[in-house]
C-alpha cells in the first residue's frame, strides 16, 4: 500500500512506507471461495472532509487499496474477509483517524471503536473504547467469530482480544497516544472557541489543549485554553493525582489568565496551592511552563505539548468499507478514533450496528462517517436499509434522501458508502467533501473527495 507514516524518524515518502503488514493483508485473503456470478463491488471511505485541505495521501492509499481488493474479489474472495483486510490496512497506515492514526481524547488517550457485519446471517461484532488493540476491525471480527455476543467495550474488550490471539500494542504505537493523561480531572463541557480577528496570531496560538508531566513531581498537568481575547484567556487548569490536594486526587478549575510579556499567566487560588504559573510558547509549538510560590520559594517546571484539536468538525478520517462478493454476499465495516475533544469513554456511531454499520443480503451494506451522535439518533445505516425494504426505494434514492435531505435539513453532517445486493453503489455526503472510492467488476478503481 502507498502510505506515509509518521514515526520516530519523521515523515517518510509514500513509496518508502510500503509496510509488509499493510501490503500483505489483501494478498493473504483467501481466493476461490465465491464464483456464483460475475458481480462484485467495493466502496471505501476515509472519512468526511469538513474543510478543503490536501487529501492526496489518503486518496493515493485508497486508490491502491481498491486496485488490490478488486483483484481479490475477482478471484473469488469473500466479502467479510475483504472488508476486514481493507480496513485493517487503513488502520495500520497511520493516514486516517483509525488504528495507528487514531486521535487522542481529552485525557491524551487513544480510544478506538469498530464494527463489522455480514449480510447472509446478519452476524456482527464490535468493540468500543479499546486502548491496546492494534486493529479494532479485526477485534470486532474476533467478537463476531469467537463469542456469542455482538459488542465488548473498554478494558474487557482489550482482554478479550489478547486472550483470543488478537494483536495488541503499547500506547507508543499510536501516533497521537504516547503519554496517558487519564487521571487528570476534566469537565464534560469543554469547548475551545476559535480566537476572533481581534486576537493577535501569537496570542491565538495558545488556543487548544496542552498536556505534560511536571519535572520532579509525580503529577500530570493539562491546560485547556477555551477562549482568548486581546488581554487574556479563559482556561481549564487541571491536574492528575498530586501531592498538593488533601486527598491526593486530581482536580480542575476554570480560571482567568492574562498575557504578560508574551506569555500566558495563571494565578491559582490559595486552596489549591496558590502558585503562579507562566506558559511561554516555543518555536516548536510546545509550552515551557514555570510555576512558583513567592512565600515559600517552591518552583517547578515542565513542557506541555498540544493534544489533538478540540473541535469535532475538524476530526475527519474515520474509515469504512462495504463489499458485494461473487457469492452474492454483502459485508460492511467501520473503524474510528472518534474526535479529539471527546470525553474519555465516549462512543460514537462507528461500533453501533444499525447506526454506523449494517449489512443485509436482501438489501444493502452501509458504512457511515460524520457526527456520530446524530447518526446514532437516526439509526442511519439501518434507516437506508429500511427505506429499501419497506418503501421500495433504490439504494441511490434511499441513501441520498437520508443524507442530502433528511439529515442535511437538520444541519446534521456526514455521509455513507453503500452497495446493494445487485452491486450498485452509492456515496452521498452533505459535508464539504468525503474521502471515498469505488470499484466493481465493470468499473475501474477510482478515488475522490469532492
Residue 326 in contact with residue 73, Cβ under 8 Å? yes
Regarding whether 386 and 293 lie in a shared domain, the answer is no
Regarding whether 165 and 30 lie in a shared domain, the answer is yes
CATH code, 289: 2.40.128.120
Regarding whether 261 and 380 lie in a shared domain, the answer is no
User: Considering 306, 330, 363, which residue would you say is the last residue of a domain?
Assistant: 306
CATH code, 155: 3.60.20.30
Regarding whether 341 and 293 lie in a shared domain, the answer is no
Regarding whether 62 and 163 lie in a shared domain, the answer is yes
CA gap 100, 117 in Å, rounded: 22
pTM of the model: 0.76
For residue 66, the model assigns a pLDDT of 97
Regarding whether 330 and 407 lie in a shared domain, the answer is yes
Centroid of chain to Cα 341? 11
Regarding whether 46 and 144 lie in a shared domain, the answer is yes
Is 15 within the bounds of a domain? no
For helices 154-163 and 136-146, the axis angle rounded to 10 degrees is 70
For residue 108, the model assigns a pLDDT of 76
CA gap 222, 192 in Å, rounded: 14
Is 64 within the bounds of a domain? yes
CA gap 63, 26 in Å, rounded: 14
Q: Between the CA of residue 444 and those of 68, 98, 367, what are the distances in Å?
A: 12, 26, 21
Residue 367 in contact with residue 356, Cβ under 8 Å? yes
CA gap 80, 166 in Å, rounded: 17
Domain that holds residue 246: 201-306
Q: How deeply is 197 buried, as exposed, middle or buried, from its count of CB atoms within 10 A (0-12, 13-18, 19+)?
A: exposed
Regarding whether 323 and 207 lie in a shared domain, the answer is no
What is the full per-residue pLDDT of the chain (450 aa) written as tens digits? Answer: 322 222 222 222 332 333 445 568 999 999 999 999 999 999 999 998 766 667 888 999 999 999 999 999 999 999 999 999 999 999 999 889 999 999 888 777 899 999 999 999 999 999 999 999 999 999 999 999 999 999 999 999 999 999 999 999 988 888 877 666 777 888 878 888 889 889 999 999 999 889 888 877 778 899 999 999 999 999 999 988 877 677 778 889 999 999 999 999 999 888 777 889 999 999 988 999 999 887 887 888 899 988 754 333 344 689 999 999 999 999 999 999 998 667 888 999 999 999 999 999 999 999 999 888 999 999 999 999 999 999 999 999 999 999 999 998 888 889 999 999 999 999 999 988 899 999 999 999 999 997
User: Considering 281, 306, 331, which residue would you say is the last residue of a domain?
Assistant: 306
For residue 21, the model assigns a pLDDT of 58
User: Considering 306, 331, 354, which residue would you say is the last residue of a domain?
Assistant: 306
Centroid of chain to Cα 105? 10
Regarding whether 278 and 327 lie in a shared domain, the answer is no
In what helix (H) or strand (E) does residue 266 lie, and over which residues does it extend?
strand 263-267
Rg of the chain, C-alpha, whole Å: 23
Regarding whether 141 and 72 lie in a shared domain, the answer is yes
C-alpha cell at 319: 474509515
Q: List strands edge to edge, sheet with 364-370.
A: 357-359, 364-370, 414-420, 425-426
Helix (H, G, I), strand (E, B) or coil at 258: strand
Is 7 within the bounds of a domain? no
The tally of domains found in the chain comes to 2
- Which residues are paired to 210 by β-bridges? 223, 306
Residue 337 in contact with residue 346, Cβ under 8 Å? no
Amino acid at each position: 500500500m502507498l502510505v506515509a507514516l509518521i514515526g520516530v524518524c519523521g515523515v517518510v515518502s509514500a513509496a518508502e512506507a510500503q509496510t509488509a503488514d499493510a501490503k500483505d493483508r489483501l494478498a493473504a485473503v483467501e481466493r476461490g471461495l465465491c464464483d456464483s456470478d460475475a458481480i462484485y463491488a467495493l466502496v471505501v471511505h476515509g472519512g468526511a472532509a469538513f474543510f478543503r485541505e490536501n487529501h492526496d495521501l489518503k486518496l493515493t492509499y485508497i486508490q491502491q487499496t481498491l486496485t488490490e481488493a478488486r483483484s481479490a474479489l475477482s478471484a473469488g474472495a469473500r466479502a467479510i474477509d475483504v472488508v476486514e483486510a481493507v480496513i485493517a490496512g487503513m488502520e495500520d497506515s497511520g493516514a486516517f483517524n483509525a488504528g495507528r492514526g487514531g486521535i487522542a481524547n481529552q485525557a491524551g488517550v487513544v480510544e478506538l471503536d469498530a464494527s463489522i457485519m455480514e449480510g447472509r446471517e446478519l452476524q456482527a461484532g464490535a468493540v468500543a473504547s479499546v486502548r491496546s488493540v492494534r486493529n479494532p476491525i479485526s477485534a470486532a471480527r474476533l467478537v463476531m467469530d469467537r463469542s456469542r455476543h455482538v459488542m465488548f467495550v473498554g478494558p474487557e474488550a482489550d482482554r478479550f482480544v489478547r486472550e483470543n490471539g488478537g494483536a495488541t500494542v503499547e500506547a507508543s504505537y499510536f501516533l497521537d497516544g504516547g503519554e496517558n493523561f487519564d487521571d487528570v480531572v476534566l469537565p464534560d463541557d469543554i469547548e475551545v472557541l476559535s480566537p476572533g480577528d481581534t486576537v493577535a496570531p501569537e496570542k491565538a496560538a495558545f488556543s487548544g489543549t496542552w498536556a505534560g508531566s511536571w519535572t520532579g513531581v509525580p503529577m500530570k498537568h493539562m491546560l485547556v485554553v477555551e477562549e482568548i481575547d486581546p488581554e487574556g484567556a479563559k482556561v481549564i487548569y487541571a491536574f492528575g493525582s498530586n501531592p498538593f490536594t488533601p486527598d491526593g486526587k486530581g482536580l480542575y478549575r476554570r480560571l482567568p489568565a492574562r498575557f504578560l510579556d508574551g506569555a500566558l499567566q495563571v494565578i491559582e487560588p490559595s486552596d489549591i496551592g496558590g502558585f503562579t504559573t507562566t506558559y511561554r510558547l516555543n518555536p516548536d509549538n510546545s509550552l515551557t511552563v514555570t510555576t512558583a510560590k513567592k512565600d515559600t520559594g517552591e518552583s517547578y517546571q515542565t513542557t506541555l505539548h498540544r493534544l489533538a484539536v478540540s473541535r469535532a468538525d475538524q476530526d475527519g478520517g474515520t474509515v469504512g468499507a462495504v463489499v458485494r462478493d461473487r457469492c452474492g454476499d454483502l459485508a460492511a465495516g467501520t473503524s474510528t478514533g472518534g474526535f479529539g475533544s471527546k470525553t474519555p469513554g465516549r462512543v460514537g456511531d462507528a461500533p453501533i450496528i444499525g447506526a454506523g454499520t449494517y449489512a443485509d443480503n436482501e438489501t444493502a451494506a452501509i458504512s457511515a462517517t460524520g457526527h456520530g451522535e446524530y447518526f446514532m439518533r437516526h439509526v442511519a445505516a439501518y434507516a437506508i436499509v429500511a427505506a429499501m425494504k419497506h418503501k421500495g426505494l433504490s439504494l441511490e434514492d434511499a441513501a441520498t434522501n437520508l443524507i442530502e435531505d433528511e439529515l442535511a435539513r437538520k444541519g446534521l453532517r456526514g455521509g455513507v458508502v453503500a452497495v446493494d445486493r445487485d452491486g450498485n453503489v452509492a456515496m452521498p455526503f452533505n459535508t464539504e467533501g468525503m474521502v471515498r472510492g469505488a470499484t466493481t467488476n465493470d468499473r475501474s478503481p477510482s478515488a475522490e473527495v469532492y
